[in-house]
Structure 1
Amino acid sequence: MATPTPHPSQRPHLAAVVEDHFYAAAGWVLRRAGWRPRLETYSGYGTPDKVRVLARVLLSRPRPPAPDLEAHRAGRRGFRHFLTVPVPHRRVLLEVGGRTAVVASDRAGYVDVEIPTGSALAAGWQSAVLTVLDEPYPWEAEAAIRVLDEHTRFGVISDMDDTTMVTAVPRPLLAAWNTFVRHSSGRRAVPGMPELYRTLQEVHPDAGFFYLSTGAWNTANTLRAFLARHAYPRGPLLLTDWGPTLTGWFRSGPAHKEASLEHLMSWFPHVCWLLIGDDGQHDPEIYAQAVDRRPDHVRAVAIRQLTGGQRVLAGNMPNADPTEPGIDPPQVPTVAGRDGAELTRRLAGVPGVLRR
């Protein structure tokens, strides 16, 4: 699920056709076994007058939702998050503010809609109510919505992998182990990063925090549990779908990040952002492009630096000077550091970030 992009052809890719047929067959078998559609909701965001609501319709065993169901799902081994069967083209009733609308899930079961609210929503955390229609026992769930009004002037957009948590993405085998086998409770925070984010929240109490990753929506519960366990500020996750698209085998991670950055900056033109990432993949280049497009909307860029060996395995040559962030020439204040403590020291000298 990502910001929609136009497709050059209406003919779907073979991989997407195969995937759709597989899920249709699996769904038919599970429905005959008594499984029913359920809603998995994700945190959305918006302004007082318009919100983006995110959710997914999946098949589930016929059992009532338990209070600790989300915690149970978050604690499973990684591969089990990918053992899901979506329910495509299912009608869902959406209620937010004073407005109701009937929307439909897409081919992968996702609900990703922008809807005007019937009344001005207050800044902070609000909620939307979603209900699966056309079922004997409709499933109802709430989706959290982070509302930023015109008084919000500062926000944080942060990468996840190797920025907030140690995932070793540049090492493919270890990354696969972390994603598909290891329990989510075994994930470690990058030293000093939770403290940095909490300090940012203390300095900017009304700031919006957004966590941007190329990871799959299947891992959303795991990532939410990780952020809560390490007391990171609460904020919407911006993830992507897992599997083939209508145009190819794989989605473009950099394109997902670029589109998400542009979407947030266009939705909240009054917010000046701190962009936080790492140099293991493409964050410096993606953030530099965002600065080129909207320099007045970026307060600063902070890059967590991986070791030289990790960067080589990721296909990036290490910088000769470890204090350089790899963005040249910087149009906004740009800092780099090995961990959260070093980034905190460097950001302390940037006006409007760790001090008013």
Structure 2
Amino acid sequence: MSKRPFIAARWELFVDRRVERLFRLLGWQERVIPYTAYGDDTFVRVLGRVVLSPTFDDTQLGKAAEEFLRRRGWRNFLTTPCVHARYEIHLGDTVVTGTSDRGGYIDHRVRDHDLAPGWRDGTVETTSSEPVGFEAQIVDADQRFGVVSDIDDTILTTMVPRLFISAWNSFFRREEARQAVPGMAVFLDDVLARRPGAPVFYLSTGAWNTHGFLTRFMRRHRYPRGAMLLTDWGPTNTGWFRSGPEHKRGALLQLSIDYPHISWLLVGDDGQHDPDIYGDFAASHPDHVTAIAIRQLTPAEQFLAHGTMEPLEVSSEHPRDIPVFRAPDGRGLRRVLDRYLSRN
């Protein structure tokens, strides 16, 4: 069997290299887009992307135009990645270097750092870009609880994945028009207030291009800050598109490896595959799941999500001693989980 990447991945690399070469000739400069990092006392996973941007972006007028345009959804998806760009990460007294992947993405694990638990700052830069700061959540080694929350239709109403509505929400609607699910921010805040220092991760099949929008959305609606685990919508080394469910399964498995002593509250919705994905993870890793909280979509949301008025049938079976709580919004989930979390 050939070990060469899938033809679509090779074609994407071919196109990206030539587009990058063109824009460099036009004077565009390298810029790093940092994402939220996370880790513990043994590692920090630094995430980001190296892209090209016109020098116009560095002026006050350019920054104002960029701020205005990126609030239109389509602007989040127009980027020019830097293929295999060299970068340098500064984290405390630790300095490491690396190379971005064929999509310009940075995914670097920094070892032997000197950071104490809590939120810490770092910087990342390329050989020709300015340093940009990023935040890193360092989880205490004694922490035993954490939260993993879905994004689409769990904390943010998107009506994914019906193509037309998803495209309209993602590409054309203004950021300010996007709606939060009632009570979810308060629910997550209440859960984390009971477990000081516990991390929260936001897990989604959405593209990394939306990271800036999601960060601003969560800040505006007062969601607890935490690292996001998103994906790239482009081709993989084995196929045309990435599998959303497999991305979530892989991210949960990675968290169980990164934090072997943490048991997670898994938060999602019943509009797509969350109950199956969480159920399978609970069955295979029962020591890593405290409980499952599922937001129940309305019949209209169910229809827009998958074409029927009822939730999808759940095929997985999770351990009976791991409770599953269901409610239509954050206020309901907070109410049904209150007694359980108080006891545990």
TM-score, length-scaled by structure 2:
0.91
Give the counterpart of 1:26 among 7, 16, 19: 19
Counterpart CA distance in 1 for 2:39 and 2:318 is 33
| Other-structure match for 1:105 | 100
CA–CA separation in structure 2 for the residues paired with 1:316 and 1:177? 21
- Measured in 1, the distance between the counterparts of 2:271 and 2:319 equals 19
Structure (1 or 2) with the greater helix fraction: 2
- Residue 157 of structure 1: aligned partner: 148
Q: Which residue of 2 aligns with 1:72?
A: 67
Deviates more, 1:69-78 or 1:91-100: 69-78
Distance in 2 (alpha carbons) for counterparts of 1:69 and 1:103: 32
1:55 shift after superposition: 0.9
Q: Could you tell me which residue of structure 1 aligns to residue 177 of structure 2?
A: 186
The alpha-carbon deviation at position 242 of structure 1 amounts to 2.1
Distance 1:343 1:19 in 2: 43
1:47 paired residue number: 40
Partner-residue secondary structure (3-state), 1:72: helix
Secondary structure of the corresponding residue to residue 152 of structure 1: coil
5+ long unaligned stretches in structure 1: 1-7
2:310 corresponds to which residue?
Answer: 318
- The corresponding residue for 2:294 is 303
Q: How does 1:1-356 map to 2 (within 5 A)?
A: 9-62=2-55, 63-64=57-58, 72=67, 75-119=70-114, 121-133=115-127, 135=128, 138-312=129-303, 313-314=305-306, 318=310, 328=317, 330-331=319-320, 332-350=322-340, 353=341
Closer/same/farther in 2, CA of residues 125 and 71 from structure 1, 3 Å limit = farther
- Contact 1:153 1:272 survives alignment (8 Å): yes
* Segment of structure 1 superposing worse, 225-234 or 144-153: 144-153
Distance in structure 1 (CA, Å) of the matches to 2:137 and 2:342: 22
- CA shift digits 1:61-102 (9 cap, x unpaired): 114387x77992785211111110100111111222332221
Shift of residue 148 of structure 1?
0.5
Instruction: Indicate if the aligned counterparts of 1:74 and 1:221 stay in contact, CA closer than 8 A.
Output: no
1:179 Cα offset (Å)? 0.5
Deviation at 1:319, TM superposition (A): 5.5
> Gapped runs of 5+ residues in structure 2?
none
Report if the CA contact (8 A) 1:170-1:280 is conserved.
Answer: no
Change (3 A) 1:349 1:326: farther
Cα RMSD, aligned residues only: 2.5
Distance 1:336 1:99 in 2: 44
Q: What is the TM-score when the length of structure 1 is the normalising length?
A: 0.88
What does the per-residue CA deviation read over 1:284-338, in whole Å, with 9 as the maximum and x for residues that have no partner? 0110111112111211100011123543551677259xxx998645530111111
- In structure 1, what is the Cα distance between the partners aligned to 2:298 and 2:146? 28
Name whichever of 71-80 and 254-263 sits farther off: 71-80
* Distance in 2 (alpha carbons) for counterparts of 1:70 and 1:251: 32
Identity %: 42
Give the corresponding residue for 1:4: none
